[in-house]
Structure 1
Amino acid sequence: MTEIIRKLRVAAYAVIIDDGRILLSRWLGPERPRWILPGGGVDHGEDPYDAVIREVFEETGYRAEVGRLLGIQNVHGPLNRDGVDLDYHRIRILYEAKVVGGDLTYEVGGTTDQAAWFPLEDVPALDHVESVDIGLEMYRTRPRDGRIARST
């Protein structure tokens, strides 16, 4: 019988929209590169608010200012990563943010390799992760309880 490993990942992401465009990072995922909201894992002892500012800078070169908490995406279920069965629980904390400085650059040696602005109407056609759609939905609807009912 294969042992299932339990894994918890807490991450903070920014929804940055300016002039009808959204800022995305290209994540070097296990299957293929896909577009994702800029952000990433919260380090032990780190405040998620600080983590999202750090991650946006690392992935895009921009300094971000956090406007408000949009909500939390909770994803729990089985995942097989590199032949290892995981009981994977992801908690994604989504913030609205804006660029307040810096220049667009790419992360080197990290989990992303590009960052770019995309017109909002082009997002559905992009190869992107579901959290981009969740973030946009939270940005548009501002759910009172900070949750979007989805299961993935």
Structure 2
Amino acid sequence: MIRRYGERVDPAMRYTPRPGAYVILQRGRDLLLTVQDGERPELQLPGGGIDAGEHVVPALHREVMEETGWRMDRPVRLGVFKRFVFMPEYDMWAEKICTIYWSQPTLRLGPPLEETHTAVWVPMDEAPALLSNEGDAAFVASLL
């Protein structure tokens, strides 16, 4: 059974499945996270949706570059969780299937490619309380 986080599921609501890959990028005792600007800025693990026809690991490398400007080492899969959320940028309710990986950042090529993201370093032991979703926080806390 996959652990579930996020909004309460409404049985009358249609949720669109949205697979994604996210990574805990660790350097020493710090994590490289991303702040997504918006109405309510959110601190998140780098990552995002997997496009149709895209494989999970290349998607994760693409998302890390877009959201942080960094390359990373080979990711190691830690597990998966689900989140049921409204995604305003797509105007849809989604069942996000979030596969979580661990890796190390290896090379900063520049600023994030996505203008709405800012890469930030956060002490690993502080990250669970700062992350914007419970699933991300639970996976980081499991490494402490």
Q: What TM-score comes out, normalization by structure 1 length?
A: 0.73
Secondary structure of 2:51 counterpart: coil
- 8 Å CA contact 1:15, 1:139 repeated in 2: no
Distance 1:122 1:48, change over 3 A: same
User: Cα deviation per residue 1:42-92 (whole Å; 9 max; x = unaligned)?
Assistant: 01011111111110011111111233110111234x75859x773x31100
Match of 2:32 in 1: 23
Query: What is the aligned counterpart of 2:135 among 121, 131, 137?
Result: 131
Q: How does 1:2-151 map to 2 (within 5 A)?
A: 4-28=13-37, 31-76=39-84, 79=86, 86=93, 88-103=94-109, 105-109=111-115, 112-126=116-130, 128-140=132-144
- Indicate how the Cα distance of structure 1 residues 139 and 43 shifts in structure 2: closer, same or farther if over 3 A, else same: farther
Distance 1:8 1:66, change over 3 A: same
- Unmatched runs of 5 consecutive residues or more in structure 1: 141-152
Q: Distance in 1 between matches of 2:31 and 2:99?
A: 18
Kept in 1: contact 2:72–2:107 (CA 8 A): yes
Paired residue type of 2:108: G
Listed as ranges, the gaps of 5+ residues in structure 2 are 1-11
Using a 3 Å threshold, how does the CA distance of structure 1 residues 94 and 101 change in structure 2: closer, same or farther?
Answer: same
Counterpart residue identity of residue 50, structure 1: P
| 1:39–1:80 CA distance, 2 compared to 1 (3 A) | closer
CA contact (8 A) 2:77 2:102 kept: yes
Structure 1 residue identity aligned to 2:36: W
Q: Counterpart of 1:66 in 2: which secondary structure? A: coil
SS in 2 for 1:121: coil
**Alignment length, in residue pairs?**
132
CA RMSD of aligned residues (A): 2.6
Distance 2:56 2:95 in 1: 17
Could you tell me which amino acid in structure 1 is paired with residue 133 of structure 2?
Answer: V
Structure with bigger gyration radius: 1
Question: How far apart are the structure 2 equivalents of 1:85 and 1:48?
Answer: 22
Counterpart residue type for residue 102 of structure 2: E
